């Protein structure tokens, strides 16, 4: 059975930090952690691991503040939950840039 997990939180970038540059930074980190098919587009950062696929979207709240949403889907709820948790932990380690 298919599964989807998501997490969200607010993120504030340093003044003058372009969102697209930050998305590129996230994509690089995901590649370093073994994610494949990593892509940083103007709409999101996407990546795969095993049979899971994740999209990280940033919804603008104003200024340099964003609502960061991490959505992961796949066939196995265990694998989907693990991939989502791993990405959330990677993002939590970034802190404010």
Is beta strand 65-74 parallel, antiparallel or unpaired with respect to 44-49? unpaired
Model confidence pLDDT, tens digit, residues 40-72 = 999 999 999 999 999 999 999 998 999 999 999
pLDDT for res 26: 97
Domains and CATH numbers, the chain: 3-75+86-92 (3.30.310)
Q: Is 32 helix (H, G, I), strand (E, B) or coil?
A: helix
DSSP-assigned letter for residue 14: P
d(CA 60, CA 57): 10
> How many alpha carbons fall within 13 Å on the CB side of residue 4?
5
What does residue 81 show for φ and ψ, rounded to 5 degrees?
-60, -40
Question: The pTM is what?
Answer: 0.92
Q: What is the pLDDT of residues 4-30, one digit of tens each?
A: 999 999 999 998 899 999 999 999 999
Beta-bridge partner residues of 12: 65
């Amino acid at each position: 059975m298919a599964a989807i997990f998501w997490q969200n939180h607010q993120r504030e970038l340093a003044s003058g930090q372009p969102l697209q540059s930050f998305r590129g930074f996230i994509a690089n980190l995901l590649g370093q952690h073994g994610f494949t098919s990593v892509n940083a587009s103007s709409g999101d950062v996407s990546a795969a691991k095993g049979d899971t696929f994740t999209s990280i979207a940033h919804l603008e709240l104003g200024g340099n503040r964003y609502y960061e949403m991490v959505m992961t889907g796949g066939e196995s709820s265990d694998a989907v939950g693990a991939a989502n948790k791993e990405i959330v932990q990677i993002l939590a380690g970034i802190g404010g840039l």
